[in-house]
Amino acid sequence: PAHRIAVIPGDGIGTEVVPEGLRVLEAAAARFDIPLRFESFDFACWPYYERHGGMLPPDWRERLMGFEAIYFGAVGWPEKIPDHISLWGSLLQFRRVFDQYVNVRPARLMPGLRSPLVRRDGTPRQPGEIDMLIVRENTEGEYSSIGGRMFEGTERELVVQETVMTRHGVDRVLRFAFEQARRRRGRLTSATKSNGISISMPYWDERVRAMAAQYPDVSVDQFHIDILTAHFVQRPEHFDVVVASNLFGDILSDLGPACCGTIGIAPSANLNPERRFPSLFEPVHGSAPDIAGRGIANPIGQIWSGALLLDFLGYRAAHDAIVRAIEAVLDPASGGPRTPDMGGTARTTDVGRAVAEALRTG
Ligand code: NAI
Ligand code: MG
C-alpha cells in the first residue's frame, strides 16, 4: 500500500516552496519506485483563519491521524494574525498532540555555501568538513509549563519554572540518537551542564551512560553546553550526532546550520519514531512575508525536508540521492540556478526543476 502523506503548505512562501518539494519527491518516487500518496489540506494559514475563525478544523486530529507524515511549509502572517495564535493554533498543536518527541536537524556544509567558520590556519571550511545531525528532545526538559509567580508586583516577587525529565522521555530520545549514530559515523556527543544544573543534568548524563552501555559500537563523549558551542565553531569536524535536551537542542539546532553558511536552506523533522502518530517535515525557515508572492524563495530547505521524510519512511537511498542532487545543483562548477538569497537570479521553480532533473540523471 502507498504511504499516505498529508501536505500542508500554510502561509507565504510555504505555498511557493511546497510544490517544488513535491516535484522532487515525485521524481524520487519514480526513480526508486516508492509508492507515495499525497493529500493536500488548506488549513493552518491565515486565509483559512479568516473564513473559519480558527487555524484548524475541530476534527483536525482525526483527519490527520491516518497519515504517516505531514509535509509542512510554514505558518505565520503577522499582518493578519498574531504569531502566538497562528503558531500555537497549528504547528505547535501538531508537535504536541502527535507526540513528536524528537526534533532532528542536519547541519551539513553544502558546496557553494560559505561557512562563517575558518580553519585554524585561516582558510575556509570545505564541504564535507561539517556534517552533523542535531537531535533535540522536543516534549519535556526545560520547556515545561510547571511553575508560577508569587507576590506579583511587590519587592518579594518570585518566579519559578521547573525542568521535567522522565526516564521514559530521556531514554527514548537517547535511543533514537544512538541509533542514528550507529548508521552514521558511530560517534555521539551529549550536551550537558551537570556542573551547574546539579539535579536534572546529572540525571541526563546518567541515562546517557546507561544507554551507551547498550551501544558499545558508538563512541560517546559529552561537553557542557557553554564549551560545546565554542567547539561547534572551532572544530565542527569533530561532531557526528549531537543529542541534547529541549533548551540546549534549541540553541544547537540554530547554531549548527548557521555554521554551515545559512539557516535558509536548513531542513527539519519532528518525529514520532514509533509511528503511532504522523511525523512532520518542514524547512527551518518561516513564511517570509517580505519576499512572499514573488516566486523567488529558495526551495532547498523544503526539498531537503522531503529527503528526511523518505529516510524516515525507510528509503535511505532516495534520501541520499536527493541530498546529492541538491549538492550537484549548488556546486558552483555546475552553474546551476540560485535564488537571490544565494546571490543568483533564479526563481523558485528553476531550482526545483533543476534538483528534480539532477535526481533523474544523477
Ligand atoms: P522567516 O524565516 O520567514 O524569514 C527570515 C528572513 O529570511 C526573511 O528576510 C526571509 O525573506 C528570509 N528567508 C526565509 N526563508 C527563505 C527562503 N526559503 N528563501 C529566501 N529567503 C528566505 O522568519 P521571520 O521573518 O522571523 O518570520 C516570518 C513568519 O514566519 C512569522 O509569522 C513567523 O512566526 C513565522 N515562522 C514560522 C515558522 C514555521 O512555520 N516553522 C518558523 C519561523 C518563523
Ligand atoms: Mg529555535
- ipTM over 0.90? The verdict is yes
- Atom of ligand 1 at shortest range from CA of 76: 32
pLDDT of residue 118: 92
111-150 residues labelled b (16+ CB within 10 A) or e (exposed): bbbebebeeeeeeebebebbbbbbbbbbbbbbeeeeeeee
40: DSSP letter: E
Which of ligand 1's atoms lies nearest the C-alpha of 87? 34
* Domain boundaries for CATH 3.40.718.10 within the chain: 1-113+264-362, 114-261
Q: What is the pLDDT, as a whole number, of residue 145? A: 85
Indicate whether residue 341 lines ligand 1 (CB < 6 A): yes
Encode pLDDT of 255-295 as tens digits.
999 999 877 899 999 999 999 999 999 999 999 999 999 99
The residue contributing the CA closest to ligand 1 atom 33 is: 76
Q: Is the CB of 303 under 6 A from ligand 1?
A: no
Q: How far is the CA of 144 from the centre of ligand 1 (A)?
A: 26
State the distance from the centre of ligand 2 to the C-alpha of 249, rounded, in angstroms. 9
pLDDT tens for each residue of 192-231: 999 999 999 999 999 999 999 999 999 999 999 999 999 9
Whole-number Å distance, alpha carbon 343 to ligand 2 midpoint, is 25
As a whole number of angstroms, the distance between CA 113 and CA 54 comes to: 40
Testing ligand 1's pocket by substitution, the residue of 262, 285, 339, 355 carrying the most ligand atoms inside 8 A of its CB is 285
pLDDT tens digits for range 310-347? 999 999 999 999 999 999 999 999 999 999 999 899 99
- Of all protein residues, the one whose alpha carbon is nearest to atom 1 of ligand 1 is 286
Please tell me the predicted confidence (pLDDT) of residue 261.
Answer: 85
Residue 280 · residue 72 · CB < 8 Å? yes
Task: Determine whether the shortest distance from the Cβ of 336 to ligand 1 is under 6 A.
Answer: no
Q: How far apart are CA 214 and CA 121, in angstroms?
A: 39
288 C-beta closer than 6 A to ligand 1: yes
Rounded to an integer, the average pLDDT of 12-35 is 98
Residues in the chain: 362
What does the pLDDT look like over 106-163, one tens digit per residue? 999 999 888 999 999 999 999 989 999 999 999 999 998 899 999 999 999 999 999 9
DSSP state of 295: S
pLDDT at 362 over 80: no
Q: For cell 535511505, name the residue.
A: 316
Model pLDDT for residues 82-113, shown as the tens digit of each residue = 998 999 899 999 999 999 999 999 999 999 88
**Options 3.40.718.10, 3.30.70.360, 3.40.630.30, 3.40.50.300; CATH of 1-113+264-362:** 3.40.718.10
Q: In this predicted structure, what is the pLDDT of residue 264?
A: 80
- Quote the ligand 1 centre to 212 CA distance (angstroms): 38
Q: Which CATH architecture has domain 114-261?
A: 3-Layer(aba) Sandwich (3.40)
For the entire predicted model, the pTM comes to 0.95
287 lines ligand 1 (CB under 6 A): yes
From 287, 326, 338, the mutation candidate for ligand 1 (largest count of ligand atoms within 8 A of CB) is: 287
pLDDT for res 218: 98
* DSSP β-bridge partners for residue 76: none
Q: Given this model, what pLDDT does residue 263 score?
A: 78
Ligand 2 centroid–CA 254 distance in Å is 6
Please state at what angle helix 14-32 crosses helix 300-312, rounded to 10 degrees: 40
